[in-house]
Amino acid sequence: MVNTPANKSMHAITPNRRKFLSLAGKSLGLAALSSATVASLLKEVVAASKSIAHLTPEQAAMDEDYWSIIQNSFSVTRGIINLNNGGVSPSPRLVTEALVRYIWQQEDATAYTMWQILEPQSETIRTGLAEMFGCDREEIAITRNASESLEVLLMGMDFKSGDEILTTTQDYPRMLTTLRQREKREGLVLKLVQIPIPPKNLAEITAAFARGITSRTRLILMAHQVNITGQITPVKAVCEMARAKGIETVVDGAHSFAQFNFQQKDLGCDYFGTSLHKWLYAPKGTGLLFVKRDKIAKIWPLMAAESKQANDIRKFEEIGTHSAAPKLAIGEALLFHNGIGGKRKEARLRYLSRYWMNRLKDLPKVRFNTSFDPQQSCAIANVDIAGVNPSAIGSYLFDKHRIFTTPIIHEEFQGLRITPNVYTTLAELDRFSNVMESIARKGLPA
């Protein structure tokens, strides 16, 4: 849309603010504005990051003075130890402040303000997301979550009866349900392979996919990080194998995006979908869909779009009237993420997971369903105490100690999914580890 004079006048930027935003977000290409409160909050993060710029990411991961500033960027309660950040994560205060400000803006002459002033600014957000993912901005659609992004792909591809879609028994339930619906309606075949829990190496996962491929395989759906174990998968190896056989690849990056550092070139996939309200800390109900530019035309949108949009990535955003505010506040989430630095954030998340994992690894009855190999896991891990039901452990942790975790009961394994975040303190992980040690040695209290 055209940036009208009215549009410009309502969003004039002072020279000082322009200089600050340029410094804080220069790697983003973002033109998003920040209120004085948001600017102040972001300035703290940027200044703190400068103070440890001389450290490697691994060294910075252990600098508790630095991470205390990041922890205080969130408004989370300390009355609950939240170790369930896998499903959805709290946003830092600057993102929430921005979201509220955008909501108030769109409540003023809404039909004009929202559609003529705010919505056009989402193009700047598209650019920032494309820069982070390392692709063309015309290959990025802004969606509401990973499920929507992946449903666009799985429901929008043309298949014929007998065509096979290959994925794993540990894939996300909603995606399996989507493909099973197409099985029933159209006669395509959903084929599932098992991957080790955990594998000795990544080659075992690649080999499992290789064994599952047949002459009728048309698509491979692969989780970049398995949501129930935290297992990072060898996406690039599988995508290269698939491409050599003329098979397309959809990567479910619901948990990987902004948790550990990578770009599209590191994956080599044809399609990618993720949520932004997990590890990017964007507002709830925000997601990203990547479609290679030469493949956009062949994917049907979930909601009908005009024929003139056939090659336009925006056709996947046709969902009817919706708030502009969550989209725009993605900009502040990008600024926060880049203020910390992707590699530094990844190192801290892995440091936190290894902190509690190393505390528990030598205890009797404790078994990990997640590899300690840094190439295979980051922030998410799954732990089991033999002979003790994970749901019972989860209830005890919360009811008696206000520690929030995620019990996982799967056909192939069971355990507790533990997911700390950058706002998690070492003292909180110590409290969790102390309770788990007691359960491992003595069992649950009667």
**Inter-residue contact 310 to 350 (CB < 8 Å):** no
Where does the pLDDT of residue 22 fall: very low under 50, low under 70, confident under 90, or very high at 90 and above? very low
CATH architecture assigned to 123-324: 3-Layer(aba) Sandwich (3.40)
Which of 23-37, 95-109, 311-325, 428-442 is predicted with the least confidence, judged by mean pLDDT? 23-37
Which of 28-32, 87-91, 140-144 is predicted with the least confidence, judged by mean pLDDT? 28-32
Q: 30 burial class (0-12, 13-18, 19+ CB within 10 angstroms)?
A: buried
Which of 3-7, 110-114, 176-180, 350-354 is predicted with the least confidence, judged by mean pLDDT? 3-7
Provide the CATH number for the domain formed by 344-442 in this structure: 3.90.1150.10
Q: What is the pLDDT of residue 395?
A: 98
Instruction: In whole angstroms, give the CA distance from residue 336 to residue 91.
Output: 10
217 pairs with which residues across the strands?
A: 164
Where does the pLDDT of residue 41 fall: very low under 50, low under 70, confident under 90, or very high at 90 and above? confident
Model-level pTM?
Answer: 0.90
**Is 79 a residue whose pLDDT tops 80?**
yes
Assigned token pair, 41: 């909050």
Cα-based angle 366, 368, 372 (whole degrees, multiple of 5): 125
User: Which residue, chain included where needed, has tokens 């794993």?
Assistant: 168
pLDDT digits (tens, 9 = 90+) for 283-309: 999 999 999 999 999 999 999 999 999
Task: Domain ranges for the chain, please list them.
Answer: 123-324, 344-442
DSSP secondary structure, 72-110, as one string:
TTB---SSSEE-B-SS--PPBHHHHHHHHHHHHHHTSSH
Instruction: In whole angstroms, give the CA distance from residue 182 to residue 161.
Output: 10
**Is 352 a residue whose pLDDT tops 60?**
yes
